[in-house]
Each structure stands twice: as structure tokens, then as C-alpha cells.
Amino acid sequence: MKNVVVSVLIALGLGSVGSAVAEQYQPAGFGENVLPYLEAAVESPALDDNTPVAAVYCQADVGADGLTRNVSCYEREGFRTLRDQVEEAMAGRRMIPAKIDGKPVPVRMVFRVVYADRSGQPPVMLLPNLGHMQGDFGYQYSAPQERLDDTNWYGLYRRDTRSSGQPFFSDEGELTRVLAWVTESGRVVTAHGLETHSGYKRDARAVEKALESSRFIPGMANGEAKRMRYVAVLHYPQ
């Protein structure tokens, strides 16, 4: 009789509780107060017909308490004052923490702040992604978020005392970029190098291996988990 019951459970896809019940994910978000604070704290850039848009790309640790830490921002069009003001304004902000099955967890989140002087577009937008997959999911999708309560690629990378790369983009020094695909369950299925200087090939291989052991809050679009690209970035200050 026991064997019959087990066979029925397997046929129904209920071979174990762990495989039958999927985790429920909620990515970290901005909440109601962050954008108004940003608009008040940051001076809007001078835009014109030649440069109607300015974007600042950022990364921050969002704790289980919702507070932002280790904020780093990057800007590639010469709006350095804007970048510095955004970075300062986003430090220590209280956000909506990421959750797994309703329990808050710390994550590393990427986001961008877009300033525009275009008809039909808000003057300031705060978006939970860097825009890599905007063509696939629209501009409001949430990019995969690296879990800091579990194995994370940068922590694994820095275990080696020879590892000198700093996380996220910078206009200082060389870059290493590794592309990964994050599944709907927050697992990495493939990772391979996109860009690396000849002196840092070891780093690219280390990051690939670390990503394969990492866990994420999966990317979200329209409230559903989606398979998305994730780009791990290191820079090397001079």
C-alpha cells in the first residue's frame, strides 16, 4: 500500500514537499517616498535638444530593514555632479525590502534614475533596472537582485586575497563583465565572460564560477518571475 501511495504522489508531482511548494518572491522596491525625496534633493540637469536625456545607473545593498547601504552610481554622459548628488541622496533611504515567502531578506539591487526633457515622458523616473532588457519587458521591469542572505558572487570572489576588483561600473580603470542567465527560481544556469582585460582573465573565470553558486531574487515583469540576463561587473581603480 505504501508503494502505491508514493507512486500516486510522484504522478501528481508531489514527490516531496520541497519540490511541490515553490518559494514566493518579492523584489526590493522604492516605496512612495523615495522619488519625491530624490526630486527635492537633486538639482535637475540642464538638458537640451542635443542631450534630452540623462541617466544615472546605480547599485545599492537594501537590507532586510529596507535601508540602503553601499550605494554606487555611474554616469557616462558627463553629468558628474548629477551622479554625485543622486548617489548621496540614495544613501540611507528606506525602501521596501525584498521578501521570500513573506520574510524580508537583504539584496543587492540595481536601479537607474532617468532625467528627461521630452514630451510625454516624466521629468524624473526611478526604475528598478539598468535597461538591459527594456526591449523585452518594458521599462518598469525589476532586474534580478543578488541575495545577500545566501551565497553571492561578489562575496565568493573576494574570498581570494588576490581579488582586487570593486563591484559595479566606474570610469576608473578596466572592467570585467560576466553575463549570467537567472531563472524564474533565482538560479543561474549559464555564465560567461563578456569583457575582460588581459590582466584580469583569472577574475572573469572566478566570477563565472561564483555566479553559478549564487542565489537571486528573480527578475520580475508584470508581477511574474521571468528568466532574465544579469551582468556581474567589476572595475579596477587606478
Find the domain containing 54 and state its range.
25-235
pLDDT in tens, 34-77: 999 999 999 999 999 999 999 999 999 999 999 999 999 999 98
- pLDDT band of residue 237 (cuts 50, 70, 90) is confident
Q: Is 16 a domain residue? A: no
Q: Is 39 a domain residue? A: yes
Per-position DSSP letters for 81-104, written without gaps between them: HHHHHHHHHHTT-B-BPEEETTEE
* 8 A C-beta contact, residue 147 and residue 107: yes
Q: Is 118 a domain residue? A: yes
Q: Is 87 a domain residue? A: yes
Q: Is 37 a domain residue? A: yes
| Separation between Cα atoms, residue 48 and residue 139, nearest integer Å | 23
Supply the mean pLDDT for the chain: 90
Place of cell 574570498: 159
pLDDT in tens, 69-100: 999 999 998 999 999 999 999 999 999 999 99
pLDDT in tens, 172-181: 889 999 999 9
pLDDT in tens, 94-146: 999 999 999 999 999 999 999 999 988 999 999 999 999 999 999 999 999 99
- pLDDT band of residue 223 (cuts 50, 70, 90) is very high
Q: Is 129 a domain residue? A: yes
Query: How many distinct structural domains can be found in the chain?
Result: 1
Residue 11 is predicted with a pLDDT of 37
Position 4 pLDDT exceeds 60: no
Q: Is 19 a domain residue? A: no
What percent of the chain is predicted at pLDDT more than 90?
Answer: 82
Scanning 93-184, the segments in alpha helix (DSSP H) are 134-137, 153-157
- Name the strands in the sheet holding 98-100, side by side, starting at the edge strand that comes first in the sequence: 25-26, 98-100, 103-105
pTM: 0.88
83 burial via Cβ count (<10 Å: 0-12, 13-18, 19+) = buried
Residue 47 Cα distances to 20, 78, 115, angstroms = 53, 12, 9
Residue 22 is predicted with a pLDDT of 81
Question: Coil, strand, or helix at residue 127?
Answer: strand
| Mean local confidence (pLDDT), 150-169 | 92
| Separation between Cα atoms, residue 57 and residue 174, nearest integer Å | 18
| Separation between Cα atoms, residue 204 and residue 187, nearest integer Å | 19
Q: Is 144 a domain residue? A: yes
